């Protein structure tokens, strides 16, 4: 049974969170669930939870699927805030939009934070300060959502940020036109939503895309086209946006963390 998300008299958390950790990771060439692959000795999903711990997020819903039992066991044993973690299962891999729907169902209708941070469980370089800025910008601007973007020399594989007339949209690479593919501002896949606005827009997601999935990215365009404000936060360090879908990307993240540790010296964390 999932724990109560809030208890009488408790302090309202800064934000809730949904961590997407249901993917199979077929390109990892391993039986280990993708979120559990270690980077510098710690599972990727735990590094994401470390970043969330720094902003006092709670409750944190971890959406599991492939290797669910293993992910639950590892996170339950090693998460920095295990009492804040709630697990839920995405039984069919129908895309990020569906995974967030499953995560919101786990949050339920009980009182919780007005904000929910949504992020993938395979971005081990993400920092607490970046998440804090993401949430802060949404609140300061009164936006329906805020999202992290980055400018990459090689944006291959990422959704592109399309700006027109003050509106923001996200187009996945497989659905993009040649002109959109040339855009180097990418969606990092990390968002902060007004919970009520997210609940309103999720039922409007459709399968009209090349992958046959419910894209969470479509929620951004739907909000913008309905007159809602969408804020963007450009990451000062684009390496934080690096996700892991194969062993080469895993090695790249390992190299970044190793380099950061060397630059901090023996006294660094």
Residue 24: what pLDDT? 79
Spatial separation of the C-alpha atoms in residues 190 and 41, rounded to whole Å: 24
Topology of domain 16-241, CATH: Spore Coat Polysaccharide Biosynthesis Protein SpsA; Chain A (3.90.550)
pLDDT digits (tens, 9 = 90+) for 156-171: 989 999 998 888 999 9
132-148: b (≥16 Cβ within 10 Å) or e: bbbbebbbeeebbbbbb
Residue numbers annotated as active site: 27
Residue 58: what pLDDT? 87
> Quick one: average pLDDT of 224-246?
93
Angle between helices 96-107 and 217-225 (to 10 degrees): 80
Residue 5: what pLDDT? 32
**Torsion angles phi and psi, residue 198, rounded to 5:** -65, -40
> Quick one: average pLDDT of 16-34?
89
Mean residue pLDDT across the chain: 88
For residue 195, give the nearest of 2, 5, 4 by alpha carbon.
5
Q: Which of 28-37, 124-133, 187-196, 225-234 has the lowest mean pLDDT?
A: 28-37
Spatial separation of the C-alpha atoms in residues 58 and 116, rounded to whole Å: 9
The two structure tokens encoding residue 51: 């970043």
2 pLDDT band, cuts 50/70/90, is: very low
Counting beta carbons within 10 angstroms of the beta carbon of residue 105, is it exposed (0 to 12), middle (13 to 18) or buried (19 or more)?
Answer: exposed
pLDDT digits (tens, 9 = 90+) for 89-110: 999 989 999 999 999 999 876 5
4 pLDDT band, cuts 50/70/90, is: very low
Which residues fall within 8 angstroms of residue 42, CB to CB, at 6 or more apart? Answer: 50, 124
Strands (DSSP E) found in the chain: 16-21, 38-39, 42-43, 60-64, 85-89, 115-120, 145-151, 160-164, 167-171, 185-194, 230-234
Task: Find out whether 233 and 187 touch, Cβ atoms under 8 Å.
Answer: no
pLDDT at 8 over 90: no
SS3 state at 160: strand
**Domain residues of the chain, as ranges?**
16-241
Residue 31: what pLDDT? 87
pLDDT at 76 over 90: yes
> Residue 46 region, left (φ>0) first, then alpha (ψ -120 to 50), else beta?
alpha
pLDDT at 12 over 70: no
pLDDT at 10 over 70: no
> Quick one: average pLDDT of 207-230?
89
Spatial separation of the C-alpha atoms in residues 83 and 184, rounded to whole Å: 40
Spatial separation of the C-alpha atoms in residues 197 and 145, rounded to whole Å: 8
Residue 35: what pLDDT? 94
């Amino acid at each position: 049974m999932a724990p109560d998300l809030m208890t009488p008299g408790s302090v309202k958390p800064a934000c809730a969170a949904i961590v997407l950790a249901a993917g199979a990771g077929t390109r990892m060439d391993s039986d280990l669930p993708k979120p559990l692959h270690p980077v510098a000795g710690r599972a990727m999903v735990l590094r994401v939870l470390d970043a969330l711990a720094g902003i006092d997020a709670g409750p944190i819903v971890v959406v599991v699927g492939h290797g669910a039992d293993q992910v639950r066991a590892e996170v339950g044993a090693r998460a920095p805030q295990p009492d804040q973690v709630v697990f839920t299962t995405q039984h069919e891999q129908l895309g990020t939009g569906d995974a967030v729907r499953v995560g919101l169902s786990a949050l339920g209708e009980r009182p919780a934070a007005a904000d929910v941070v949504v992020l993938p469980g395979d971005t081990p370089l993400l920092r607490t300060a970046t998440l804090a800025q993401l949430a802060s910008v949404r609140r300061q601007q009164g936006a329906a959502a805020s999202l992290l973007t980055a400018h990459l020399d090689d944006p291959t594989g990422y959704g592109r940020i399309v700006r027109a007339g003050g509106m923001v949209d996200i187009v996945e690479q497989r659905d993009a036109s040649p002109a959109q593919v040339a855009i180097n501002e990418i969606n990092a896949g990390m968002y902060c939503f007004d919970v009520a606005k997210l609940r309103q827009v999720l039922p409007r997601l459709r399968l009209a895309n090349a992958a046959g999935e419910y894209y969470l990215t479509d929620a951004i365009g739907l909000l913008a086209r309905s007159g809602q404000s969408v804020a963007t936060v450009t990451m000062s360090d684009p390496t934080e946006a690096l996700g892991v879908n194969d062993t080469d990307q895993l090695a790249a993240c390992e190299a970044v963390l190793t380099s950061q540790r060397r630059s901090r010296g023996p006294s660094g964390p």
